[in-house]
Amino acid sequence: MLDVYQSAGAMELKASEWEVDFLIGGTIKWLCGGPACGYLYVRPDLQNELQPRLTGWVAHEAPFEFAPSPMRYDNSVRRFAQGTPSIPALYSVLPGLQIIEEVGVKIIREESRRRTEWMIDFALQHGWKVNSPRDVNQRGGSVMVYVDDGPTMVKRLAERRVFVDCRPGVGLRMSPHFFNTDEEVEEAMNIIEEFL
């Protein structure tokens, strides 16, 4: 099982090449989509071997027949669907996916590596405690730095139009995307330093 919620759109993923059995994720992070839209990949040779414990009408091989039991599962990954898809959520996802495809995940990853490396160097030079892996191959698109009062820092930064979040005991999570400029990232880091 591979959870790609924090990596899809920011890193190249090769589920079939990696022989992953299951992959799950969502579109609200790096894929620039709206909420309420998740996805599941099931290795093709496993799809028909598995019978879901929870199911919904869309999982039926002919969902619009509204046939009585027994359930006849679809012969695709759709057999794992639990109910009516959120059509508005699916439409909200399309522009983000189109942009990610246009820019290219490889380019996004290269920019992310370069920016997160710069951010970590900046943080260490200023004596901050970095809670992210130093090895770029072990790190996604976020940098975590410890601060004493994360929620207060998040509010103060938002007042200066720097939008980050925090995780208890870990610190601020900063996640620049391809559309952020180097100048914006540098300005954000300088403002954090000002508050520390």
Question: What is the DSSP track for the chain?
Answer: -EE-TTTBTTB---TTTTT-SEEEEESSSTT---SS-EEEEE-HHHHTT---SS--GGGBSSGGG-PPSSP-B-SSGGGG--S---HHHHHHHHHHHHHHHHH-HHHHHHHHHHHHHHHHHHHHHTT--B-S-SSGGG--S-EEE--S-HHHHHHHHHHTT---EEETTTEEEE---TTS-HHHHHHHHHHHHHH-
Domain 2-103 has CATH 3.40.640.10: yes
CA–CA gap between residue 64 and residue 138 (Å, rounded) = 46
Residue range 37-61: average pLDDT?
89
Residue 180 has pLDDT above 90, yes or no: yes
In the chain, where the domains are located: 2-103, 105-195
CATH of 105-195, one of 3.90.1200.10, 1.10.1740.10, 3.90.1150.10, 3.20.20.190: 3.90.1150.10
Q: Which residues pair with 173 in a beta bridge?
A: 144, 165
Residue 178 has pLDDT above 90, yes or no: yes
Residue range 72-97: average pLDDT?
89
Token duo for residue 172: 């601020």
CA–CA gap between residue 114 and residue 147 (Å, rounded) = 23
Residue 164 has pLDDT above 90, yes or no: yes
pLDDT at res. 52: 86
Cβ proximity of 166 and 184 under 8 Å: no
pLDDT at res. 20: 94
Cβ proximity of 128 and 153 under 8 Å: no
Cis peptide, bond prior to residue 63, ω within 30 of zero = no
The model carries a pTM of: 0.83
User: Which region holds residue 104: left if phi is over 0, alpha if psi is between -120 and 50, else beta?
Assistant: left
CA–CA gap between residue 163 and residue 32 (Å, rounded) = 16
